[in-house]
Chain A
Amino acid sequence: MVLPTITRKESVILELLSGGQEKYGLEMVEASGGELKRGTVYVTLQRLEDKQFVSSRQEARPAPEVGIPRRLYQITSLGERVFAARQAADAAFSGSLIPVGG
């Protein structure tokens, strides 16, 4: 089986969600330290949902509150496996690198 490719931004999102805790998009932007932007985070999350690495649901709101409900995101088991595999691949790759001139 071929390891699915994930971009740097997708990897950052999976890392932030890897604790198993649900998060809002804005929370992820703030926690990423500038790696994720407000304009791109939801497009990336949509892509991750398409790949089934992430699932989402609308937040439950108490009755008197109105307006657009926010969305909560959670990593799926497939997403966790892909992220773990990606981390292992990164570690193996960086460990096998020979320094220039070494």
Chain B
Amino acid sequence: VARLDELNLMQRAQQGDRPACAELVEHYWERLYRWLYHLSHDRHTAEDLTQETFLKAFGNLKSFKAGTNLQAWLFRIAHNSFLNQRRASRKARQTFPADVAAAAEGPAEEAMSREALQLLARAVGRLPTDFRAAFLLRVEENLSFREMADVLETTEETARWRVFKARQKLMEVLAPQLDKGKS
């Protein structure tokens, strides 16, 4: 049903139906923004890139073919926008997201200590961008390696390798902390 809904929405959007486009924005804005925020570490950049993603998508609706994975299509556009932006700004160095330290307390802290959660945010933020992009597509968007490869325009094996490396690094940093939290 979900696939049919998605197809139906895209068909309406392709016919210029603005409310259908608005529904797509409703469904995907936060998800794209979240991913782009994790990649860029900058709220305004993430906002701009999210908007750019939708503008590009709506400007290229005719190129979207039935059977295409809409989620992967949108995230691929977002990734290309991110890469272009990064090239343009030449911000090769990663900066730590300042907002994480000041994040509001939420239910997550109940399950993982505040210290561990902050460590997790820090560790994710310090992953190399390629690893982080693939890893987040896996854990937040539940994409397969094939779909990740599609988004990141790489091979399935490379996508798998990036997720592996991201997990390996996170485990190195976080496992001792999680063990400490349990004892």
* A and B assemble together: no
Show the binding face of B for A, using Cβ within 8 Å. none
Show the binding face of A for B, using Cβ within 8 Å. none
